[in-house]
Amino acid sequence: MTALIVAEVTESALAPSTAKALTAALQIGGGVHILVAGKNVGPAAEAAAKLSGVEKVLVADGAAYGHHLAEPLAALIVGLAGGYDAILAPSTSSSKNVLPRVAALLDVAQVSDIIKVVSADTFERPIYAGNAIQTVRSKDAKKVITVRTASFTATGEGGSAAIEAIGAGSDPSVSSFKSEALAKSERPELTAAKIIVSGGRGLASSENFKEYIEPVATRLGAAIGASRAAVDAGYAPNDLQVGQTGKVVAPDLYVAIGISGAIQHLAGMKDSKVIVAINKDEEAPIFQVADYGLVADLFPTLKELDAELAKAGR
């Protein structure tokens, strides 16, 4: 049996989430190939070829795949699918968009967001915002699977797979790219960060979010996260939302500041190794999942935290 992983490519680089999906594929067993599709993706293909356990890297380099539009990308994957028993991708916004399209074209039920491989056809996945874990067995001959990256460690380097260029698939020509507004940040990417400092509605304004969250995050070398309420209110951009419908993260340290701890927020962070909550309401549900809780007004607390970290040379 052979699995195909659809790589996550950011600009020309291979995103770390790909190596996590690879771990799931290797647990399923059999050979693994990686498809790298995009524009100018040579560096990503080379990085994929170095991952341990990969037999072959297929590269579809072309403008048609530059913006990861679902329609041409799904057509490309479906064209390759005949040679594979399983198609996997990390659960990113790109694969959440593309893989169900692939699954339907193959007449297969997708298994979304697996958190564990039980056997080659049986997987665990969260339902109800992670408040229950289902074990499901796929009865389809071909599996289409997205992998929750917070639940798998990355496979390391050590391979030297062959890289093979493949031609473009057909473009259904029903969609085109118009524009994008992507955040540029020097900080670690949210789903790959070891430390996350997250702000909620308690911050009360975008100015405060900047003034209080950013310095502490910078001192800790942390990524910044946000609750839905903070994003809806415009304190933080949408790509920082953590939760059931945002990003799912599991850093070593998650610091929740002015976040109440709604079910939908917990769904995105409760697998973090250590959770800290700073909230002035001692009844806030976030304290039920926090390893260390500080009941305090966040504004003076964050100033003090910033000063203490500075003193400690961070």
Partner 1 sequence: MKVLVPVKRVVDYNVKIRVKPDGSGVDVANVKFSMNPFDEIAVEEAIRLKEAGKATEVVLVTIGPAKADETLRSGMAIGADRGIHVKTDELVEPLAVAKILAKIVAEEAPGLVILGKQAIDDDSNQTGQMLAALLGWGQGTFASKVEITEGSVDVTREVDGGLQTVTLKLPAVVTTDLRLNEPRYASLPNIIKAKKKEVAAKTPADYGVDITPRLEVLKTAEPPARKAGIKVGSVPELLEKLKTAGVL
Ligand X SMILES: Cc1cc2nc3c(=O)[nH]c(=O)nc-3n(C[C@H](O)[C@H](O)[C@H](O)COP(=O)(O)OP(=O)(O)OC[C@H]3O[C@@H](n4cnc5c(N)ncnc54)[C@H](O)[C@@H]3O)c2cc1C
Within residues 84-123, the interface with partner 1 by CB under 8 A covers: 92-94, 96-105, 107-113, 122
What is the Cα–Cα distance from 146 to 224, expressed in whole angstroms?
25
Contacts of 179 by beta carbon, 8 Å cutoff, 6+ apart: none
Q: Does 20 bind partner 1 (CB under 8 A)?
A: no
The mark string for 47-76 relative to partner 1 (x by CB under 8 A, - otherwise) is --------------------x-xxx--x--
Q: Does 245 bind ligand X (CB under 6 A)?
A: yes
Q: Residue 298 binds which entry of partner 1, ligand X, none, with Cβ cut-offs from 5 to 8 Å by kind?
A: ligand X
Contacts of 85 by beta carbon, 8 Å cutoff, 6+ apart: 1, 2, 3, 30, 141, 142, 143
β-pairing, 274-279 vs 253-257, is: parallel
In one letter, which amino acid is 191? T
Answer yes or no: is 260 a known binding residue: yes
What is the Cα–Cα distance from 309 to 292, expressed in whole angstroms?
17
β-pairing, 31-38 vs 56-61, is: parallel
Applying CB under 6 A, among 49, 265, 271, 272 the residue interacting with ligand X is 265
Q: Is residue 183 helix, strand or coil?
A: coil
Closest CA to 15 of 25, 30, 5: 5
Residues numbered 274 to 303 that lie near partner 1 (CB under 8 A) are: 274-276, 282, 287-295, 301
Q: Residue 312 binds which entry of partner 1, ligand X, none, with Cβ cut-offs from 5 to 8 Å by kind?
A: partner 1
Closest to ligand X by CB, 69 vs 242, is: 242
Closest to partner 1 by CB, 155 vs 244, is: 244
Q: Does 259 bind ligand X (CB under 6 A)?
A: yes
According to DSSP, residue 267 is labeled T
Residues numbered 150 to 179 that lie near partner 1 (CB under 8 A) are: 172-179
Smallest distance, partner 1 to C-beta of residue 150, A: 13
What is the Cα–Cα distance from 150 to 271, expressed in whole angstroms?
8
Answer yes or no: is 258 a known binding residue: yes
- Name the site residues for ligand X (rule: CB under 6 A): 200-202, 227-230, 241-246, 258-260, 262, 264-265, 268, 279-281, 284, 297-299
